[in-house]
Amino acid sequence: MPMPARLGRYAVRRRIGSGAFATVWLAFDEQLDSPVAIKVLAENWTEDLQVRQRFLEEGRFLRKVESPHVVTVYDAGELDDGRPYLVMSYADQGTLADRLEVDGLTPAQAFEVVRQIGTGLQTLHDRGVLHRDLKPANVLFRTVDGRVRAMVGDLGLGKSMEVSSRLTVIAGTPSFVAPEQAQGEALDARADLYSLAALTYLLLSGRAAYSHATLAAASAPGPPPPLSTPDRPVPAEVEAVVRRGLAVDREERWPDVATYLAALGAALGPVGADAPEPWLPVDPHLTQPGAAPSRAAPGSPLPEPVPPRRRRRWAAATAACLVVLAGAAAAGYVAAGDPPATETVDDSTGALTVTVPSAWDAAVATDEWQPPDQHDDYPALSVGTTPDWREQPGAEGVFLGVLPQSELPDHVPGHPECEVAHPPVEGSDAMTVVYTGCPEGDVIAERVVQVAANRLLWVQIRTGSMAAANRVLDGVETHGFG
């Protein structure tokens, strides 16, 4: 949707972000002299009563809660075309995903983030609301009295505990979702506790506990790798607390978030109490609200925000699992050396073509797929040496899938099992990240390409060499996207 001059009585300044279901705008409340964030339901979902109801429920859930660590809804309204919108707290310091991308966190900062997020979650639970999608992208930071405060946001998958006590629709982010939620079972507060423990693991170790590609994989996870490493040692007492939070059987987890936070603080001891003042510095490179709008030109756009600082090299491996692509299949590809004999394969719609080594035609899938959080089918193509090449180290394959997205994501899926995540190669319409040092000497390549104004192409490759990955990347073609 093009930038409107106003949304209700609010002067719009610029777009903050957008997803499959909504667009978020930075606006200014002229009456109260304050910046606000306005979330507007996407145009293509206006007539979908189920999506519309879920959007409105998010506002109602947030209004139930009075907590400095939960995003506040100030107002709600409806546009002339019938789309609802929510007016919310403006997170001027971005998200936890932003922080991981730029600097990472110290152990003390990590604990304070977990403590504040957990406090917000416990407040939701006390009001009878489950979040169901806790992840770094849904942890927001806001400056209050010169200090940065963490808030839980985006209750798009939120449910009342009364409803969640019955069977519900399977949803969530695979690397952070509780097994019982991935299985579609009845839920209670311990599902959010599991997600908080997974977030704790990420913040303390610098890598995700799991890199599940699908909710099916998240439904039966094995034990996570050790939390402590030589580069990032973690006390055994802390690891025991986090692992109990990640127990597959919810009966073996901590009984509630408050108990988990108390146990984690006690295990961290002086480290947990050693948060700096202020505990997280205000970052001028993150999203800025700008000056109040002129009364004469309330809809005039702001200057472009200050570009973010250079990403840390390890950030692609620790935070890449946060994006919208995280709910799809894992990937891979081929062997190196002299260029092998090749085969060219098309998907069933004729929209996708890829040229691969001839040995890969052992497992070919040309049918359409349904991307995460989508109800419609889109072109897809999978070619590999074995049917399970996605999960099998040493196997080779490539996956292509079209996504209904209007912008490139900030990250591609991460692969914490690999030793090196090379710096992203970014262009105006594509982003590529290559991972090396993977099990069995594999090289994994992830690429996202803007192939149309409202379509992305996701490519994943597993191979034995960088040269082979590059050949297959060059052999990807699309048709009919303009």
Q: Cβ(73)–Cβ(87) under 8 Å?
A: yes
Measured distance CA(262)–CA(258) in Å, rounded: 6
Structure-block tokens of residue 447 = 């690429």
Q: Cβ(172)–Cβ(181) under 8 Å?
A: yes
> One of 133, 347, 410, 442 is an active-site residue; which one?
133
Residue 205 Cα to chain centre, angstroms: 18
Structure-block tokens of residue 392 = 């099998």
* Residue that the structure tokens 């639970």 belong to: 125
Measured distance CA(321)–CA(372) in Å, rounded: 13
DSSP state for residue 386 in the 8-state scheme = S
Measured distance CA(215)–CA(326) in Å, rounded: 10
Q: Is 39 annotated as a binding residue?
A: yes
All residues at 6 or more sequence positions from 368 whose CB lies less than 8 Å from its CB, including other chains: 347, 348, 349, 377, 378, 379, 380
Measured distance CA(403)–CA(369) in Å, rounded: 10
Measured distance CA(133)–CA(373) in Å, rounded: 12
Structure-block tokens of residue 341 = 């004999």
Q: Cβ(37)–Cβ(56) under 8 Å?
A: no
> Which residue type, as a one-letter code, is found at position 46?
T
Measured distance CA(39)–CA(24) in Å, rounded: 4
401 φψ region: left (φ > 0), alpha (ψ -120 to 50), beta (else): beta
Q: Cβ(463)–Cβ(469) under 8 Å?
A: yes
133 counts as catalytic: yes
DSSP 336-360: -SSPPPEEEEE-TTSSEEEEEEGGG
**Per-position b or e across 124-135, b if 16+ CB within 10 A of its CB:** bbebebbbbbbb
The CA-atom distances, in angstroms, between 246 and each of 113, 242, 358 are 18, 6, 42
Question: Which residue from 59, 84, 85 is spatially nearest to 73, judged by alpha carbons?
Answer: 59
The catalytic residue positions are: 133
Q: Cite the annotated binding site by residue number.
A: 39
Q: Cite the annotated binding site for ATP by residue number.
A: 39
